[in-house]
Amino acid sequence: MKKSLLYLNLLAAILTTASCQHEKSKHKVIAKGYDQHVELHWDKLSNTTSYEVYLSTDNGDKFTKRATVKDTVYLDFLSDLGSNLNLQYQIKAVDGSDNIYNIAQISTRTFTDEELLDMVQYYTFRYFWDGAEPNSGLARERYHMDGVYPQNDKNIVTTGGSGFGIFGLLAGIERGWITKEEGLKRFQKIVSFLASADRFHGVWPHWLDGETGKVKAFSPKDDGGDTVESAFLMQGLLAVREYYKNGTQDEQLLAMEIDKLWKEMEWDWYTQNKDVLYWHWSPNYNWEMNFPLEGYNECLITYILAASSPTHTISADAYHKGWARDGQITANENPYGIKLNLKHNYAEKLGGPLFWAHYSFIGLDPRGLEDQYTNYFDHNRNHTLINRAWCVENSNSFEGYGEDLWGLTSSYSVKGYAGHKPGEQSDLGVISPTAALSSIVYTPDESMDVIKNLYYNYGKETFGLYGFYDALSPKDDWYPQRYLAIDQGPIVAMIENYRSQLGWKLFMNAPEIKEGLRKLGFVYDPNN
């Protein structure tokens, strides 16, 4: 099992901090040093509602207040002080008493690109580990750092976002952030919850109540099975099955339980006996939503899984006549001199939001993956480059846009959730970090430019406890401290695919997937 350099450095930092703690103090504070920030944790006091953070840069001779906070964790960004610093921190309780914490000594230092990428991946991983809904172990749909949830939905979990996060948890095991045993326990909790949660012909809904396992309607008639979100979830679960299937007795049992859930998914039923898959079915509204899955968008993985099912498979005709529209899925667009050879639904000229290049390819390896319609790595890379070129051209003159700040995809926006993509009307001046970061497998250098800009130049405006926040709009001076699972998941999963190909190797190793791809006419050579 490999240990990340950053993780080992953080462990050393914690041990160093502990050895430097002030002997006369009663309460503990721990600091971890990074490149441009320090993360502080301290013990919570029962009668205290806020704390003051003090910093010294001269070996404790003089302390200056940095912040007053209500939480017991604080990220202190240090761009105002410089780089490669030796620091001392002290926390004071604001409760009228003399409660004071240990002095924590810590240093910052310049990171390599690999260490910076490791840090971003580790922070994002914590959304799915530390930030998970506790009863189910699944990913919360959203997380607001201010604790304000207008729809009172803090404990609502997302099936699709959880599927992406599962790849992040596997990465966490391999990088040594959690042990294989800790991962096993979390996956056991997840699988047990999913086995007893609401399903509709073996298919889960978009949202579940993490405390009860009951469906929460995504929209008025979307209160039943969701084949697409369930495909994102099963994509992750099959990777877990492959990871544990040859392990200990408990690990093999987990793999068998996942296999049972997989075989109970009635993909064929969701065709309505036609040559196409449908997105939704409701026990209250039946097929009233009537949404056939026709490409091209984020739904390719749904057809791959349905064709690969050993128990409820669909015909190849459903893929070719339904998804590929009897061949009408192909296009011949060349925006910015970059070929786009699949018709993107409602975005044929410039391509759709970038999550279309991510969601189906968290486990499905696009490298050397071809069918009669396209080469999927080339297609996704071109999709990404067109999205970037639009932002660099910046015909709307939005502040901040450029070679180190690009990426349009669905995310929060100033006026609510929106599907950002290239186009005069659909580009609202909102950059979603997941767009460029999750595209690192296609555009490694260009994506690293965005990571560096967001961290070094925007700092605390864009980076928090679970990595980069969901969206930003410099033109509106808008930097919400909010996260969405469906955006954080692809970041941690795709960074790992870029670094080790872990998710791709696991998913593509499933024998059913190999057979399903052959059935649909795909060829796959990851070395091509």
Phi-psi sector, 25: left (phi>0), alpha (psi -120 to 50), beta: beta
Task: For residues 79 and 458, give the distance between their C-alpha atoms in angstroms, rounded to a whole number.
Answer: 10
Tens digit of pLDDT for each residue in 361-391? Answer: 999 999 999 999 999 999 999 999 999 999 9
264 Cβ neighbours under 8 A, 6+ residues apart: 199, 202, 311
Nearest partner of 137 among 217, 238, 237, judged by Cα: 237
Report pLDDT digits (tens) over 182-214. 999 999 999 999 999 999 999 999 999 999 999
Asked if 156 and 144 count as a contact pair (C-beta separation under 8 A), the reply is no
- CA dist 197 and 201 (Å) reads 12
- State the Cα–Cα distance between residues 211 and 80, nearest whole angstrom: 44
pLDDT at 100: 77
**pLDDT at position 325, please?**
98
Helix or strand or coil: residue 106?
strand
Tens of pLDDT, residues 16-75: 444 444 444 468 899 999 999 999 999 998 888 899 999 999 998 999 999 999 999 999
pLDDT at position 76 is 98
Q: Which of 377, 305, 332, 309 is nearest to 160 (CA)?
A: 305
One-letter amino acid at 86 equals N
The answer to whether 205 and 189 are in contact (CB under 8 A) is no
List, in sequence order, the alpha helices (H) in 402-525.
433-437, 444-452, 485-499, 502-508, 511-520
Q: Is the dihedral of CA 166, 168, 171, 173 positive or negative?
A: negative
pLDDT digits (tens, 9 = 90+) for 288-317: 999 999 999 999 999 999 999 999 999 999
Percent of the chain with pLDDT over 70: 95
Average pLDDT for 344-351: 95
Q: How far is CA 414 from CA 1, 149, 478, 479, 495, in A?
A: 43, 16, 7, 9, 27
pLDDT of 102 over the 90 cut = no
Q: Residue 79: its pLDDT value, please?
A: 94
Residue 483 near residue 426 (C-beta atoms within 8 A)? no
Q: What angle do CA 87, 91, 94 make, to 5 degrees?
A: 150
Considering the chain, what is the average pLDDT of its residues?
A: 94
Cα–Cα distance measured from residue 503 to residue 121, given in angstroms and rounded to the nearest whole number:
14
Residue 98 is predicted with a pLDDT of 67
Q: What pLDDT does 380 receive?
A: 98
Q: Regarding predicted confidence, which is higher, 333 or 19?
A: 333
Which pLDDT value is given to residue 464?
A: 98
d(CA 414, CA 418): 9
Do residues 518 and 246 make contact, with C-beta atoms less than 8 angstroms apart? no
* Structural domains of the chain sorted by starting position, each given as residue range(s) with its CATH number in brackets: 5-110 (2.60.40.10), 115-524 (1.50.10.140)
Cα pseudo-dihedral 188, 464, 477, 454, rounded to 10? -100
Backbone angles phi, psi at 83, to 5 degrees: -125, 165
